[in-house]
Amino acid sequence: MRLMLLCAFAALTATAQQLSAQTSSISVTSPSALSISAATAGGQPVGQSTTASYSVTVVGGRKKITAQLEAPLPPGVTLTISLAAPSGAVSLGSATLSTSSRDMVRYIAIGQYTSLTVTLSLNASVSAGVVPFNYSHVVLTLVDDP
Amino acid sequence: MSRYSMFIAGGALSLAVSGVLQAQTGTQTVAFDVQAINKIAATGSPSLTINTAVAGAQPTQATSNGNSYAITTNDTGRKITIEIDVDMPTDVTLRASLAPPGGATSAGFVTLSHTTPQNAVTGISQRAETGLFIHYTLDALVTAGIVSGSRTVLLTVLAGP
């Protein structure tokens, strides 16, 4: 009896591993630091941009990618993001990030897509003041696209 | 619960957790900062000429009003000082007045010198403005005689009251 149960447990674990390999997923790299340090006299500080990359695997159904911040940015500071679309999908262009999720890429079909470009731009108004070195976490989520 | 049924529960839990761990999210860490920015620029090429007087009085003051400056600062508690690259000739006086950005205070007309920068505007905090006027006046006593020359006016954004 004990042997049968152990076999059943092993079978369940194997099934779990198989399912895990078949799950849609998204991963993203972190970009280089963004530092605002210049302005034209009379103008707002000059924004800075950087790029990173993301990969996405869709094993079933049609998916979309949403983006949001884990926590608000300091007042007067904005972070915008745009994601290159996988083949056949549609990028919704640039969006200003907030703690509310918003659609970035839609209609992603089954497939594995790698090294897609993420562009991030940091802007700050003078009212933001001097902002010490800081971190922001951008969350990309892969969800069903109805 | 028997040891065997606990084993089975563990297997089922393993299956369920495996699905959860494959959360379809990716998190990107973005490092950023905004450094102190203090920029100022002036426009215009003022020219002041004194060439008349009322009989019995000192020469009549010359003025120049068609000049402006722009400023950007994300700092607080800034001021603008003004100075010239070379002192004026004896008995010739160049003065300037700067319009203040919002929330700041102008010192009005100040006498320009090379040796002592003057506070022209104080109390500037986090402003980006253009088209702020600079007014100049030039005065000369008769003892100055006939003179000509040019001076470079230097505006500087500094920490200050």
CB-CB contact of A132 with B35 (8 Å):
no
A132 contacts in chain B (CB < 8 Å): 33
pLDDT at A5 over 70: no
Q: Domain B38-159: give its CATH code.
A: 2.60.40
The secondary structure of residue B59, as a DSSP letter, is: B
Q: Where are the domains of chain B?
A: 38-159
Task: Please name every residue paired with B105 in a beta bridge, in sequence order, or none if there are none.
Answer: B122
Of A38, A129, A136, the CB nearest to B30: A136
Residue-averaged pLDDT of chain A:
89
Is a pLDDT exceeding 80 seen at residue B76? yes
ipTM over 0.95: no
Predicted local distance difference test score (pLDDT) of residue B160? 86
Closest Cβ–Cβ partner in B7, B34, B69 for A45:
B34
**What per-residue confidence (pLDDT) applies to B161?**
76
**Does some domain include residue A11?**
no
Using DSSP, state whether B110 is helix, strand or coil: strand
**A42 to B34: CB separation less than 8 angstroms, yes or no:** no
B54 close to A (CB below 8 A): no
How many domains are there within chain A? 1
Which of A8, A43, A143 faces B8 most closely, judged by CB atoms?
Answer: A8
A108-129 confidence digits (pLDDT tens):
999 999 999 999 999 999 999 9
Asked whether A107 and A145 are in contact (CB, 8 A), the reply is yes
Q: Is residue A66 pLDDT above 50, yes or no?
A: yes
Q: Does the pLDDT at position A4 exceed 60?
A: no
Provide the percentage of residues in chain B whose pLDDT is more than 90: 83
A2 part of a folded domain: no
pLDDT-wise least confident of A28-42, A58-72, B6-20, B103-117: B6-20
Question: Which CATH number does the domain housing residue A125 bear?
Answer: 2.60.40
What range defines the domain where residue A135 resides? Answer: 24-144
Distance from CA of B33 to the nearest CA of A (A): 4
* pLDDT at res. A87: 96
User: Could you tell me if residue A38 is inside a domain?
Assistant: yes
Tell me the pLDDT band of B12, cut-offs 50, 70 and 90. Answer: very low
pLDDT given for residue B21 in this prediction: 35
- CB distance A35–B35 less than 8 Å? yes
Band the pLDDT of B55: cuts 50, 70, 90: very high
* Side chain identity at residue B92, one-letter code: V
SS3 A69: strand
Chain B contact set for A140 (CB, 8 A): 25-28
